[in-house]
Chain A
Amino acid sequence: NAGVTQTPKFRVLKTGQSMTLLCAQDMNHEYMYWYRQDPGMGLRLIHYSVGEGTTAKGEVPDGYNVSRLKKQNFLLGLESAAPSQTSVYFCASSYSIPPGPQYFGPGTRLLVL
């Protein structure tokens, strides 16, 4: 099993450009999450999904959109990238809502110039 995979691993964007980050999991987990990690800030939840076709806002949702068309995939979109969105993005999945532990992907490093 690959677990949780993220594509791409690294990307550079110019301000105003758009992109989509892809997360895939092969563990048949219902729940999927997108986090961002910034220096001194820990991991902060952007959006999450409790099942195929559902999405919900987390702690820092502004500037991002998500979609969960298939159970195994969770997409994070940036419609108009800003330098403040420079960060490392982690996707995670879990078989249950908290308190079940989450399984993380390797991360996507995004630089917005």
Chain B
Amino acid sequence: DQQVKQNSPSLSVQEGRISILNCDYTNSMFDYFLWYKKYPAEGPTFLISISSIKDKNEDGRFTVFLNKSAKHLSLHIVPSQPGDSAVYFCAASGADTGNQFYFGTGTSLTVIP
């Protein structure tokens, strides 16, 4: 059963606007979350992370929000740029997952110039 879910396979946003990518999880033991960005024919690259002791982490144009009660996190990109067009994966780990991250299925973001 998928423990980390990204229910939107794709998202299109106009350049300069905000992109919001969502991720839901089922395991209440997850306490660390990451977002990765992936371009075609390349491996995923780490983007931003958040631990469960925080509800927000910001890095430049990228902000991740965590809502533990709803088991939901989101990635905000402001302003969106054409170079942000990629597939975004969220991943989670926790005390009961040992050395493993569990990944979502990804959301393909297209930023329209």
Contacts and interface: CB of A to CB of B under 8 A. Distances in A.
Interface of A: 4, 31, 35, 40-45, 48, 50, 56, 58-59, 90, 92, 97-99, 101-107
Contacts of B100: 45, 48, 58-59, 98
A98 B102 CA distance: 11
Given A104-B45, A107-B43, A44 B105 contact: no
Interface residues of B, number: 28
Nearest to B9: A40
B104 A99 contact: no
A1 B43 CA distance: 16
Given A42-B103, A45-B100, A99 B44 contact: no
Nearest to A99: B32
Question: What 10 pairs across the A-B complex have the smallest Cβ distances?
Answer: A104-B43, A99-B32, A98-B93, A101-B46, A42-B103, A43-B103, A42-B105, A97-B99, A104-B44, A106-B43
Nearest to B36: A104
A102 B2 CA distance: 20
Nearest to A98: B93
Given A31-B99, A48-B100, A102 B46 contact: yes
B106 to A, nearest CB: 6
A106 B42 contact: yes
B70 interface: no
Contact of A102 (B41, B101, B104, B105): B101
16 contacts: A35-B103, A42-B2, A42-B6, A43-B89, A43-B91, A45-B100, A50-B99, A59-B100, A90-B43, A97-B98, A97-B99, A98-B93, A98-B97, A98-B101, A99-B31, A106-B41
B42 A48 contact: no
